[in-house]
C-alpha cells in the first residue's frame, strides 16, 4: 500500500502521493515524453526508408525484397498492437510504473542496436526488422501503461485535459516523426535511430526517480492461454491484411491468395475463441464483460474507426504529395519525403491547438458533444479532400488539414477520457492496453485497407493511361504494354519511397539507353509521371477517402450513442475522492457500485 504524504520521510525523492500538488504534472510530463518517443518512432522510418535501404545497400523495390519493405514499415506497429493488452495486464499485476519505466530501457537498448547495424543487404534488413520488433515491445510498454498512470494520478475533473494532452502527444508524434525522419535522413540514416537513445535514457531515469505506484495492483496469475490466443489471432489477422496489398496470380492485390485469406479468416476465428476463453477463466487477461458497458464499448468502436481513418489519411496524403503535387511544383523525387512531412505540419498544428483545449472543455461541459462533433468535422474535411483538384492550391489543402487536426483533437481527448473513466480502477492497465491496441492496430489495418482501395482504383484506369503515355515518348509498344501491365502497387511504393516511378518501371527493360536524350529527360523528369497519373490517381484517391469517410461517420455515430460518462474514483484507504464536476453533481441519486461510481 502506498505511503501517505505524512507517513513518508521528507527526504525521499520518489515518494509522491496522489495528494501532492505537483505529482500529477510530473506524471503528465513524463508520460507525454513517453508517448512522443513511441509514436515518433512508429512513423520515423516511413520517410527515412530510402536512406536506410541505401545505407545497407539494398533495393527495396527489387523482386524478392518487398517483404523487407513491408516488415520495416509494419514490424513496430504489429508488435505494439499485439502486446499492449498483455503489458497493460502485467501493469495491473506488478505495477504500471514498473512496466512503463522498463519500456524506456528496452527502447534505449534497441535503438542503440539499430544504430550500430553491422550488416549489409538482406542480413542488414533482417537485423533492422528484428530490433524494430524489440523497439516495438518497448513502445508497447509505454503505450500500455501511460494512460492508466494518468488516470490514477488525475482527479476526474481534470482527467480529460490530462488524457487529451497525452493523446495529442501520441497522434502528433506520428506526424512529427515524418519531419524528424526526413531531416535526420538527410544527415545520416543511423541518426534516425540514435536520436531516440538520449530521450529514452532521460525518460527512464526520470520515471524511475519520480513516478510512484498509485494504482491498485491485482495480484494473480498471467492468463497464458488468453495472451497466446490474442497475440496469435491479432498478429495473423494484421499480417494477412497487410499482405493483401501484394499482387497475386495476375490480380493487382492479394485478396485471392489462399494464405492471405487463411490469415484473415484464421485470425478472426482465433480472436473469437479468445473472447470465449476469457469468459471462462478465473483470472482473464482482459475482462470481456467491460464491453457490456455501453460507454466503454462504443468509445472503443469510435476510437478504432478514427484510428483506421487517420492512418489511411496519413498514407494517402504522403503518396499524394510525393507522387504528384511536390514534383509538379519543382521538387526532386529524392527530396519529396522530407518536404511531404513539412507540408503535413498544418495537420499537427490543428491537433496541438485543439487537443488539450477540448480535453479541458470536455471535463466541464461533457464528453459526447466534443467527441461526436470532432469526428463530424473530420468527415467534412474528408469530403473536401475528395473534391479538390489533384494539383490543389496549397492554402486550401492546408486549411483542410488544420480543420482535420482540430476535429481529431476534439475527438481524441474526450473519447479517451470516456473509455478510461468507464473502467474500474483495478483494471485500468488492461483497459489502457486495449485502447492502445485499437490505436496501433488501426494504424496497421489502415495500410492494408487503404492501399487496397488505392490499388483497385488505379488498376481500373492506370494501365491504359500509362501505356499511351509511354508509347507517345517512343517507348516500344511491347515494353509499354509490359510496364502498364505491372501491378500499380509498384508505382505507389516508388512514389512513397521518393523514387522516380517511371525510372524504376523502365530501368529493368534497358529501354532508356536506346531512346533519344530528349525523350529520356521527359520520361524521367519531374512532371511526366505526376501529369500522367493525375487522372487515375484521383479515381483511386476518391475510393480511399470515401472509405475513410464511412469509417469516420461510423465513429461519430458510436460517439453520439455513448450515453452518460462514468467516473470510477480511487478507493485506496485515505485517498480523497476526485472533485465533482458540475455534470456529475447534477446527476440524480442512484445506485453506487463498488468503485464509487454512480
Angle subtended at Cα 239 by Cα 233 and Cα 243, rounded to the nearest 5 degrees:
145
> What gap in Å lies between CA 227 and CA 176, rounded to an integer?
32
Q: What is the pLDDT of residue 270?
A: 92
Q: What is the pLDDT of residue 164?
A: 67
In eight-state DSSP terms, residue 586 is T
Distance of CA 424 to the CA centre of its chain: 26
Residue 376 C-alpha cell reads as 463530424
- Tens of pLDDT, residues 433-442: 677 777 777 7
Q: Are 286 and 229 in contact (CB under 8 A)?
A: no
Residue 334 banded pLDDT, cuts 50, 70, 90: confident
- Tens of pLDDT, residues 365-375: 778 888 899 99
Using DSSP's 3-state secondary structure scheme, residue 390 falls into coil
For residue 56, give every residue at least 6 positions away whose Cβ sits within 8 Å of its Cβ, in sequence order, or none. Answer: 117, 119, 120, 121, 124, 125, 128
Using DSSP's 3-state secondary structure scheme, residue 248 falls into strand
Is CATH 3.10.20.600 the right assignment for the domain spanning 23-222+285-459+537-566? no
Evaluate if residue 494 carries a pLDDT over 50. Answer: yes
Count of other CB atoms within 10 angstroms of residue 6 = 9
- In 3D space, the residue among 579, 596, 563, 575 whose CA is nearest the CA of residue 156 turns out to be 579
Residue 587 banded pLDDT, cuts 50, 70, 90: very low
Evaluate if residue 596 carries a pLDDT over 70. Answer: no
Strand partners, 251: 248
> What gap in Å lies between CA 9 and CA 11, rounded to an integer?
5
596 or 508, greater pLDDT: 508
Residue 371 C-alpha cell reads as 467527441
- In 3D space, the residue among 11, 131, 136, 139 whose CA is nearest the CA of residue 76 turns out to be 136
- For the chain, the C-alpha Rg in angstroms (whole number) is 25
E strands, 126-200, in order: none
State the average pLDDT over residues 512-518. Answer: 86
Q: Are 38 and 173 in contact (CB under 8 A)?
A: yes
DSSP string, 132-175: HHHHHHHHHHHHHHHHHHHHHHS-HHHHHHHHHHHHHHHHHHHH
For residue 486, give every residue at least 6 positions away whose Cβ sits within 8 Å of its Cβ, in sequence order, or none. Answer: 505
**Which helix (DSSP H) or strand (DSSP E) does residue 99 occupy?**
helix 96-115
All structural domains of the chain with their residue ranges: 23-222+285-459+537-566, 223-284
pTM of the prediction? 0.76
Evaluate if residue 1 carries a pLDDT over 60. Answer: no
Count of other CB atoms within 10 angstroms of residue 412 = 31
164 or 347, greater pLDDT: 347
State the average pLDDT over residues 263-274. Answer: 91
- Tens of pLDDT, residues 37-71: 988 888 888 778 888 988 998 877 776 777 787 78
Using DSSP's 3-state secondary structure scheme, residue 68 falls into helix
- In 3D space, the residue among 45, 50, 106 whose CA is nearest the CA of residue 76 turns out to be 45
- Tens of pLDDT, residues 404-431: 999 988 888 788 777 777 777 667 666 7
Q: What is the pLDDT of residue 573?
A: 34
> What gap in Å lies between CA 47 and CA 164, rounded to an integer?
27
Please return the burial class of 170, using the count of CB atoms within 10 Å of its CB with bins 0-12, 13-18 and 19+: buried
> What gap in Å lies between CA 21 and CA 517, rounded to an integer?
72
Across the chain, mean pLDDT equals 80
Amino acid at each position: 500500500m502506498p505511503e501517505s504524504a505524512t507517513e513518508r520521510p521528507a527526504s525521499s525523492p520518489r515518494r509522491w502521493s496522489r495528494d501532492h500538488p505537483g505529482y500529477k504534472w510530473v506524471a503528465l510530463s513524463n508520460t507525454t515524453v513517453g508517448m512522443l518517443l513511441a509514436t515518433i518512432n512508429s512513423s520515423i522510418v516511413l520517410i527515412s526508408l530510402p536512406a536506410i535501404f541505401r545505407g545497407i545497400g539494398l533495393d527495396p523495390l527489387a523482386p524478392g525484397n518487398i517483404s523487407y519493405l513491408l516488415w520495416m514499415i509494419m514490424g513496430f506497429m504489429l508488435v505494439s498492437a499485439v502486446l499492449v493488452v498483455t503489458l497493460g495486464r502485467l501493469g495491473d499485476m506488478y505495477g504500471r510504473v514498473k512496466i512503463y519505466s522498463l519500456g524506456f530501457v528496452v527502447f534505449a537498448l534497441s535503438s542503440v542496436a539499430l544504430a550500430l547495424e553491422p550488416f549489409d543487404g538482406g542480413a542488414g534488413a533482417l537485423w533492422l526488422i528484428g530490433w524494430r520488433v524489440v523497439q516495438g515491445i518497448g513502445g508497447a510498454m509505454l503505450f500500455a501503461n501511460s494512460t492508466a498512470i494518468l488516470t490514477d494520478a488525475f482527479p476526474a475533473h481534470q482527467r480529460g485535459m490530462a488524457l487529451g494532452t497525452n493523446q495529442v502527444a501520441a497522434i502528433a508524434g506520428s506526424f512529427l516523426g515524418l519531419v524528424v525522419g526526413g531531416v535526420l535522413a538527410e544527415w545520416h540514416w543511423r541518426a534516425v535511430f540514435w536520436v531516440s537513445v538520449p530521450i529514452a535514457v532521460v525518460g527512464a531515469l526520470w520515471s524511475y526517480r519520480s513516478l510512484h505506484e498509485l494504482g491498485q495492483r491485482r495480484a494473480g496469475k498471467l492468463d497464458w492461454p488468453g495472451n497466446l490466443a490474442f497475440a496469435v489471432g491479432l498478429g495473423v489477422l494484421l499480417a494477412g491484411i497487410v499482405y493483401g496489398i501484394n499482387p497475386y496470380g495476375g490480380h493487382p492485390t492479394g485478396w485471392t491468395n489462399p494464405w492471405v485469406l487463411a490469415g484473415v479468416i484464421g485470425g478472426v476465428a482465433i480472436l473469437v475463441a479468445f473472447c470465449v476463453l476469457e469468459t471462462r477463466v478465473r483470472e482473464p487477461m482482459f475482462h470481456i464483460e467491460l464491453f457490456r458497458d455501453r460507454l466503454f464499448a462504443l468509445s472503443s468502436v469510435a476510437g478504432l474507426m478514427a484510428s483506421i481513418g487517420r492512418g489511411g489519411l496519413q498514407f494517402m496524403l504522403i503518396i499524394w504529395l510525393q507522387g504528384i503535387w511536390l514534383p509538379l511544383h519543382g521538387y526532386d523525387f529524392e527530396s519529396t519525403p522530407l518536404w511531404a512531412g513539412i507540408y503535413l505540419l498544418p495537420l499537427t498544428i490543428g491537433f496541438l491547438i485543439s487537443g488539450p483545449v477540448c480535453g479541458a472543455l470536455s471535463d466541464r461541459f461533457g464528453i459526447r458533444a466534443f467527441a461526436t462533433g470532432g469526428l463530424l468535422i473530420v468527415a467534412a474535411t474528408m469530403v473536401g479532400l475528395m473534391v479538390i483538384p489533384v494539383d490543389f492550391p496549397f492554402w486550401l489543402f492546408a486549411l483542410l488539414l488544420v480543420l482535420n487536426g482540430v476535429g481529431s483533437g476534439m475527438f481524441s481527448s474526450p473519447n479517451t477520457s470516456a473509455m478510461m473513466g468507464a473502467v474500474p480502477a483495478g483494471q485500468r492497465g488492461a483497459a489502457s492496453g486495449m485502447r492502445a491496441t485499437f490505436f496501433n492496430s488501426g494504424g496497421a489495418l489502415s495500410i492494408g485497407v487503404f492501399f487496397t482501395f488505392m490499388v483497385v482504383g488505379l488498376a481500373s484506369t492506370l494501365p491504359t493511361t500509362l501505356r499511351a503515355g509511354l508509347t507517345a515518348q517512343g517507348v516500344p509498344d511491347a515494353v509499354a504494354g509490359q510496364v502498364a501491365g505491372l501491378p500499380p502497387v509498384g508505382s505507389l511504393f516508388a512514389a512513397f519511397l521518393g523514387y522516380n516511378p517511371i525510372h524504376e518501371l523502365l530501368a529493368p527493360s534497358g529501354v532508356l539507353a536506346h531512346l533519344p536524350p530528349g525523350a529520356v529527360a521527359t520520361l524521367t523528369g519531374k512532371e511526366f509521371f505526376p501529369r500522367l497519373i493525375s487522372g487515375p490517381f484521383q479515381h483511386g484517391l476518391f475510393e480511399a477517402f470515401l472509405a475513410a469517410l464511412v469509417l469516420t461517420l461510423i465513429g461519430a455515430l458510436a460517439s453520439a450513442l455513448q450515453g452518460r460518462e462514468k467516473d470510477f474514483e480511487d478507493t485506496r484507504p485515505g485517498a480523497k475522492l476526485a472533485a465533482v464536476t458540475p455534470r456529475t453533481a447534477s446527476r440524480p441519486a442512484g445506485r453506487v457500485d463498488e468503485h464509487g461510481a454512480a
